[in-house]
Amino acid sequence: EIELTQSPGTLSVSPGERVTLSCRASQSISAGNLAWYQQKPGQAPRLLIYDASSRATGIPARFSGSGSGKDFTLSISSLQSEDFAVYYCQQYNDWPPITFGQGTRLDI
Amino acid sequence: QITLKESGPTLVKPTQTLTLTCSFSGFSLTTTEAAVGWIRQPPGKALEWLGIIHWDDNKRYSPSLKTRLTITKDTSKNQVVLTMTDMDPVDTATYYCAHRGRDGSGTYSPYFDYWGQGTLVTVSS
């Protein structure tokens, strides 16, 4: 089973800042089979990035994903107020099981 | 427009069997490569993948829950059903169903691009 470790657990930032969230896998993830989701309180997760770097439909360009092997990042340029949420990574390279990271919370 | 919605009991007793239904529209589970997955989230905790059912009735389950889970589909009703036996208070969570991701070129992969709103299931006597 591939374990995903996200860091930091919580990040306190200000609107307008650029942030980078990390997701490290316990094994190499080939072909970039990794996705990122945003979840706000009381809502279902929303797909942001798939295949490590492809933005999902309707996702603003300020969200970008990168990485390969074991290390992946989600970057958000110029944080907007609506971006304060919890972010999860998910791998689908070696499954079952499909696994999620424990999440990174972005706080104002 | 793809939509999914979970339905079922909000409260189950320990040792009981949970049955949840995912009703969807905007796609068909008869379409090659289409699939619906189930994911849960205990209050304040991370997401946990439970299983997935594909258009050809191929199913995959979380190894840690495999003995307790069954996923079936009714393509005529556009529904997927999750059954989980021997419920325990630790199974208290919001349960989501979600559509297997499909990119612009039509390639399916097991991320999830559309999610239901989720349904909170509490396990308590």
Average pLDDT over residues B112-117: 97
Residues of B in contact with A96 (CB under 8 A): 49, 51, 60-63
Tell whether B64 lies on the interface with A, counting CB pairs under 8 A: yes
Average pLDDT over residues A63-82: 96
Segment B27-84, tens digit of pLDDT: 999 999 999 999 999 999 999 999 999 999 999 999 999 999 999 999 999 999 999 9
Buried b (16+ CB within 10 A) or exposed e, B29-57: beeeebbbbbbbbeeeebbbbbbbbbbee
Q: How far is CA A5 from CA B45, B87, B97, B116, in A?
A: 14, 28, 24, 26
Tell whether B61 lies on the interface with A, counting CB pairs under 8 A: yes
Average pLDDT over residues A76-90: 96
Tell whether A98 lies on the interface with B, counting CB pairs under 8 A: yes
How much is the pLDDT for A108?
A: 84
The bridge status of strand A104-107 relative to strand A10-12 is parallel
Whether the predicted pLDDT of B125 surpasses 90: yes
How much is the pLDDT for A71?
A: 97
Whether the predicted pLDDT of A25 surpasses 90: yes
Burial of A107 (0-12, 13-18, 19+ CB in 10 A): exposed
How many angstroms away from the CA of A19 is the closest CA of chain B?
21
The bridge status of strand B11-12 relative to strand B119-123 is parallel
Average pLDDT over residues A93-105: 96
How much is the pLDDT for B106?
A: 85
Tell whether A20 lies on the interface with B, counting CB pairs under 8 A: no
Instruction: Determine whether the interchain pair A97/B64 forms a contact, defined as Cβ–Cβ distance below 8 Å.
Output: yes
How much is the pLDDT for B64?
A: 97
The total number of residues written for chain A in this structure: 108
How much is the pLDDT for A35?
A: 98
How much is the pLDDT for A89?
A: 98
| Residue in A19, A2, A9 with CA at minimum distance from that of residue A80 | A19
Compare CB distances from B49 to A98, A101, A103 and report the shortest one's residue: A98
Residue of A nearest to B6 (CA): A44
What percentage of chain A has pLDDT greater than the value 70? Answer: 100
pLDDT band at A30 (very low <50, low <70, confident <90, very high): confident
Whether the predicted pLDDT of A105 surpasses 90: yes
